[in-house]
Structures are given as C-alpha cells and as structure tokens.
Amino acid sequence: MRPARLIARAAAYLERHGVESPRATAEILLMHVLGTDRAGLYARAEGLDARQAREFGRALCQRCAGTPLQHLTGEQAFHRLRLEVRPGVFVPRPETEILVEGARRELRGAEHPNIVDPRTGTGALALALKRERPDATVLATDVAPEAVELARLNAGRLGLEVDVLLGDLLAPVPEDLRGWVDLVVSNPPYVPEEEYEDLPPEVKAEPREALVGGPEVYERLTAEAVRWLRDGGVLAVEIHAEAAEAVSAILGRSFADVRVHRDLAGRDRVVTGRRP
Ligand SMILES: C[S@@+](CC[C@H](N)C(=O)[O-])C[C@H]1O[C@@H](n2cnc3c(N)ncnc32)[C@H](O)[C@@H]1O
C-alpha cells in the first residue's frame, strides 16, 4: 500500500481511538519508521516491508494506548532545536518558546550575560538561549539524574556549551557567580494537584514530579533568585494560565517591574520581574 493510503487508514484508526491530530500523528510515525522527511514520504512509490509494517503497527497501537508521540519518535522540536527526549524526562512544550522569547528580550543590552535555568529537563530553555546568545555563560540544573544526563547529551549533540549540574534549584551554581547572574529562567512544575487526575494519559506518562506544583515552587525560586541575580537582573518564569495574579504577587515582594506575558492564544504564560 502506498504511503498516502496507509496514512489515511492509520489516521482513521487513530481518530477512532480519540488520538489528537490523527493525520499529523500518522505522518510523523511513518516518517520515523521509514527514516525520511515529508517530501520523501509522499514521493515514495513502494509500500512497507514486513519489519517496517510491524514497527508502524506497533507504534500506532502504543500511541492509542497513551504513549506520548515524542516517546515513540525519541525527539521533539523546540525553538529551532531538535532535542532528544526519553521516558522519565519532561517533553518540552511549544508554549515554553514564549519564555525563550521573553527572556531574550530581557537580555537585550546585557553583554556576555550569565544565565541559569533551574529545572532544565531535556535542557530546552538553556540550550535555546545559548543558541540565541552564544556570548552567554549558561548553567542548567535538575534534581533528576536522568534529566541531567539527557540535557548533557543534548548539549553535546547540538555542540552548545551549557553546564548541566545535578541539584536543587540554584544550589549547584558556583559561589563566585553570586550577585553576577543576569537571568534566572525556569519552567517549573505547576499543574495544580487537583487537575492531575484529569490530565490525558500521554501527559500522565511523564514524571509526576515534573508536572505537579503550586505557589511554593515560585516562592522558593524567587527567594533563591534574588540572592544570585545582579542588580537589574531578571527572573522569568512560566506559569499556569490561571496563576498570573498569584505568581506576580510572589515576585512582587522582591522584584520590580513585574509583568505578565501572554501566549499567541491570549493566555497568561510568563511572568518576569527585575531585581531592584
Ligand atoms: C516542567 S519540567 C520543565 C523542564 C524544562 N525546563 C522544559 O521546559 O522543558 C520541570 C523539571 O524540573 C525538575 N525539578 C523539579 N524540582 C526541582 C528542583 N527543586 N531543582 C531542580 N530541578 C527540579 C524536574 O526534574 C523537571 O525536569
């Protein structure tokens, strides 16, 4: 069967099982199995061999059973980067690119800035910012050893010099950077406990501790950031769409010029503040 027909059938199967974006999902999985891009997929005249057919069928079943698409392909595009992803480490989301853009704007005018990304996961924010600002010194931390390992691997594969350290928030940052950090940027776990049960299976396939959090994660981060940032340095955080007021109030206790930034859908997505 030629790819176009195969995709139509696979998309119908995914749709029957309630999978979001069934056609795009079928295409991505088939491109992955065949090791080709979109143009190669549709230019292909022959069908699948037995191994490819088995692999594609298995991937479709796993996706229907709730395995995240990115765990099946092993990668996720993020802000002009292609990151390796693995089960056990949070998959970067497109909405976090708003945080990269907000952080970049805040860094205008700072030369050779020092940037820290506590809670880095795959390294997404740290690596995207290093790519945009090659003059920056970028450090990333995570409490999960598997995240540290993956972020280091992504940094190596992409040839981006980012130091990834194991530990709690800013604790692993070298002491001589105290008072010299220009930007602390973080996408912390912020799904309210009471929303967790209703999350779709592919989201629940991620580590719970990378998802669930509340105001306390912003309180700790604010208290630590204020000790590491230079005067005029910036804290930029991603937030739950309903949390802008609460998070702004937390930052407002220690930071000036606290602002809420919206995503393209008009939802509150990022809060920034400047150390006075
Ligand atoms: C929501 S994920 C965000 C990952 C990444 N920043 C992104 O946007 O794709 C949160 C990450 O924070 C890490 N984490 C949770 N608590 C932490 C802490 N106290 N210190 C450092 N990392 C932590 C988790 O292991 C997880 O990788």
Atom of ligand 1 nearest to the CA of 96: 8
141 and 238, same domain (yes or no): yes
Q: What is the pTM of this model?
A: 0.93
Does the pLDDT of residue 233 top 90, yes or no?
yes
Domain end position, chosen among 65, 92, 112: 65
Domain match, 57 and 192 both: no
Mean pLDDT across the stretch 41-62?
A: 93
CB-facing half-sphere around the CA of 144: CA atoms within 13 A: 19
Given phi > 0 = left and psi -120 to 50 = alpha, else beta, which region is 181? Answer: beta
CATH code, domain with 20: 1.10.8
Tell whether 131 and 204 lie within a shared domain.
yes
Q: What is the CATH number of the domain that holds 123?
A: 3.40.50.150
First CA to last CA distance, the chain: 65
Question: Same domain, yes or no, for 226 and 195?
Answer: yes
Examine the domain organization and report whether 102 and 219 are in the same domain: yes
Distance 3 CA to ligand 1 centre (A): 39
Question: Mean of the per-residue pLDDT values for the chain?
Answer: 95
pLDDT, residue 3, reads 84
Give me the pLDDT at residue 160, please: 98
- In a domain, residue 72? The reply is no
Q: Is the pLDDT of residue 46 over 90?
A: no
User: Rounded to 5 degrees, what angle do the CA atoms 139, 142, 148 make?
Assistant: 80
Q: Are residues 210 and 258 in the same domain?
A: yes
Neighbours of 136 (CB within 10 A): 22
Provide the domain limits for residue 48: 3-65
pLDDT tens sequence across 137-165: 999 999 999 999 999 999 999 999 999 99
Pocket test for ligand 1, best of 89, 119, 162 (most atoms within 8 A of CB): 119
Q: How confident is the model at residue 213, as a pLDDT?
A: 92
Mean pLDDT of 195-210: 91
**Total tally of structural domains belonging to the chain:** 2
Within a domain: residue 121?
yes
pLDDT confidence of 201, banded at 50, 70, 90? confident
| Radius of gyration for the alpha carbons in the chain, expressed in angstroms and rounded | 20
Which CA distances in Å does 22 have to 172, 198, 203?
A: 43, 21, 17
Q: Mutation test of ligand 1: which of 143, 148, 240 has the most ligand atoms closer than 8 Å to its C-beta?
A: 143
Are 215 and 267 part of one and the same domain?
yes
Mean pLDDT of 20-39: 94
Is it the case that residue 239 has pLDDT exceeding 90? yes
185 lines ligand 1 (CB under 6 A): no
Q: What is the pLDDT of residue 1?
A: 79
Task: Looking at the structure, tell me whether residues 181 and 117 fall in a common domain.
Answer: yes
Whether residue 260 sits in one domain with residue 225:
yes
Instruction: Tell me, yes or no, whether 53 and 86 share the same domain.
Output: no
Among 44, 65, 86, the domain boundary falls at: 65
Residues 102-144: pLDDT tens digits? 999 999 989 999 999 999 999 999 999 999 999 999 999 999 9
Task: Determine the residue type at 214.
Answer: G
Q: Where are the alpha helices (DSSP H) in 35-144?
A: 38-43, 50-64, 69-73, 97-106, 124-132
Same-domain check for residues 181 and 218: yes
- Report pLDDT for 108: 92
Do 60 and 111 belong together in one domain?
A: no
